[in-house]
Amino acid sequence: SLLYSKIYLTNKNIHEKVDFDYIEDLLEKGASINCKDKHGQGILHEAARAWHTDIALFLLEKGANIDETDVFGRTPLHVASATDYAEMVELLVDKGANIEQRTFDEKQTPLHYAARNDADESLRSLIKLGADIEAKDYKLRTPLFVAAELDRSETARYLIDINADATVVDDSGQLCMTHMVTKMGPVAKQALDQFHRKDRANRKQYFYLNLLETGNTPRQTTLAKTPLEVIVSFRQLELIQHPVIMRMIDIKWNKFGRRGAFQALFLNLLYILVWTILGVAVPWYNRYHYNLPDDWWLILFWVIGVLFTAYYIAYEVREIILSRRRFKKWKDWREKQIKRDMKFCHPKWPEEHKYLESETKYLDDLLPSYFSDFWNYFDWIVYFFQLIVLIRKHTETITVWVNNLSLSAWFNRFFVVTILLLWLRLMKDTRAFRLFGPFIVMLGKIGWDLLRFLYLYLEFYIPYACGFWMVFGNLQTISSMSTVDQMLFSLFRITLVDEYQFNEMQTFDIVMAYIMVGTFLGVSAILCINLFIALLSDTFQRVYDNANANAVMQQAALLLTIEENLSNRARKKFIKYIDDKCSPEEQFYDDDLTVAQDDDLKKVTIKIKEQMDELLEHIHDNEKER
């Protein structure tokens, strides 16, 4: 309408004042103050977005409907709240706007809109004016839940500070805590305190683990992930040591984790010992010849070894299938939840739809949990080498007939590598024990340091190898340089300051001997080795500083694997225990326990910030009253 256009264009030009007389003249000639655009939004909606409060006040005085809704049910107060226009929010509420007005199908209040758009100022104003911080929308989500789901960390932190409920669960069984752990770790750490209550007077503490594990929804009926699953998936070392998470891990360890870990460790150790005996009990050149009936035990061990391998391969295949199936169900479920919200995206705010689309695309980049564990890839490497050994075993009649000792020697080398890998594989099951967890993590970190060192080392090693071969190679007088492989190994010995034929090199070419050996010793034995030691020291320090967290993280990772494979009966039994005994779980509390100094510093800093915010807000209110 002409009225809408006149006010809109005037507001767009910051140097032009609103001609209220002209607008009033239009109204007297029949212009409607409540005219709407194609989305159902009126002039007051536009005014609430960013226009001056005087315009909104003028429109209200001329009869504009303060609670006018658009096609989605959004009122001017929803718009002002979403755009963080605190002055407009206060004006509209003061003039009678319904502070708890809900949108049509989404059922969200203005406070929801302030939270979902990280509108901190309007959020504070709404709460001060009496807005319900626990109001729930069509999915039973509170403003805190919406802020966590949409990654609005500042808003979520403020709501946690004023004790908004972090234990809330939506209608699909998704916990608010899961979103916070995924998208805002520091806020999640603060929110976890709500699951841990302390009664200092009676020296008791209470853990509400039922709300953390299942919420108010039976665990069998939801595909939502628990906070512990997300903590492990994103390796949130800071959260894994929170008392609530530690208590949950301890309970799971006592109920099914310890038994499952020892069973897996015992079975794996037995598996390794069988293959080790097969490798060392008989000389390699005579390993596949049997003198029956004396060698009956050897045949028995081969049968046991084959059965073990078949069992583990079948187990891995089953894990892949189940992991893919679980992931697909969860992904479809999560996409369905996102699409439920997409239909409420407003055409005038395209960023709402873009964010939800980005969430959907993010799901496409995720992988099933099976493929996020390095040890599963390592397992298949071990099985590959075992299959090669078994192929040799089943073709023994051919190799014996042609008397191919060279082929047997090569298969024996594969067997040696297989034994080495099998013993390394034992770490997969020992990582669940906190005594060994940090060291297993440390080995993984050292692997990356080793790759970086190898790159630097090869930068010098390759050109020097060419140089040594050009000067001293293929000489009978220098046996360590007579062949390429001997020359390469001799260079490695020089790096380790081991024995090498320097006198023979000096006799052949004294100038190049001093230059080549001296400079290679400098760059490899002094520079590269010391850099490698520095890298290892730094890695050790970093991992050691988080030793407890890394140990618990390794334990939690294996716990989740064991939990996924629990029978339905065992799972129901555990859930019943959580519901009956941990809602809440009561424990003794020692009031004299000390808190880490850095935690105290963080709390003091946050408290100072809150007091400064309150002081600034008080000054701002006084200035407005003047």
User: Which H or E element spans position 88?
Assistant: helix 86-94
Residue where one domain finishes, among candidates 165, 191, 222: 165
Going by C-beta distance under 8 Å and a sequence separation of 6 or more, which residues neighbour residue 314? Answer: none
DSSP letter for 224, please.
Answer: P
Residues 413 and 284 in one domain: yes
pLDDT of residue 335: 93
In a domain, 593, yes or no: no
In a domain, 610, yes or no: no
Task: Answer whether the bond into residue 218 is a cis peptide, omega within 30°.
Answer: no
Which amino acid does the sequence have at 515?
I
Strands (E), 98-162: none
pLDDT of residue 13: 47
Cα separation, 626 vs 624, whole angstroms: 5
Cα separation, 27 vs 32, whole angstroms: 7
In this prediction, the residues of the chain whose per-residue pLDDT falls under 70 are 1-32, 214-221, 284-290, 394-407, 591-611, 613-614, 616-618, 620-626
The CATH number given to whatever domain includes residue 498 is 1.10.287
In a domain, 307, yes or no: yes
Residue where one domain finishes, among candidates 403, 425, 447: 425
Residues 101 and 202 in one domain: no
Task: Answer whether the bond into residue 110 is a cis peptide, omega within 30°.
Answer: no
Residue 35, helix vs strand vs coil:
coil
Residues 381 and 339 in one domain: yes
- List residues bridging with 198 in a β-sheet: 205
Range of the domain at 517: 439-588
Q: What is the reported pTM?
A: 0.81
Residues 582 and 458 in one domain: yes
Cα separation, 123 vs 144, whole angstroms: 11
Total count of domains within the chain? 4
Residues 410 and 541 in one domain: no
Residue where one domain finishes, among candidates 425, 455, 474: 425
Asked if 195 and 581 touch (Cβ cutoff 8 Å), the reply is: no
Cα separation, 84 vs 88, whole angstroms: 9
Which amino acid does the sequence have at 123?
L
At CB < 8 A and 24+ separation, what contacts does 337-346 make? 337/139, 337/172, 337/174, 340/139, 344/72, 344/103, 344/105, 344/106, 346/39, 346/70, 346/72, 346/74
The sign of the CA dihedral 468, 455, 498, 516 is positive
In a domain, 127, yes or no: yes
Residues 349 and 416 in one domain: yes
Cα separation, 76 vs 57, whole angstroms: 12
Asked if 372 and 411 touch (Cβ cutoff 8 Å), the reply is: no
In a domain, 206, yes or no: yes
Residues 339 and 389 in one domain: yes
pLDDT of residue 7: 53
Residues 324 and 414 in one domain: yes
Q: If you search the block for the tokens 């015992």, which residue do you land on?
A: 266
Tally the residues of the chain: 626
pLDDT of residue 388: 87
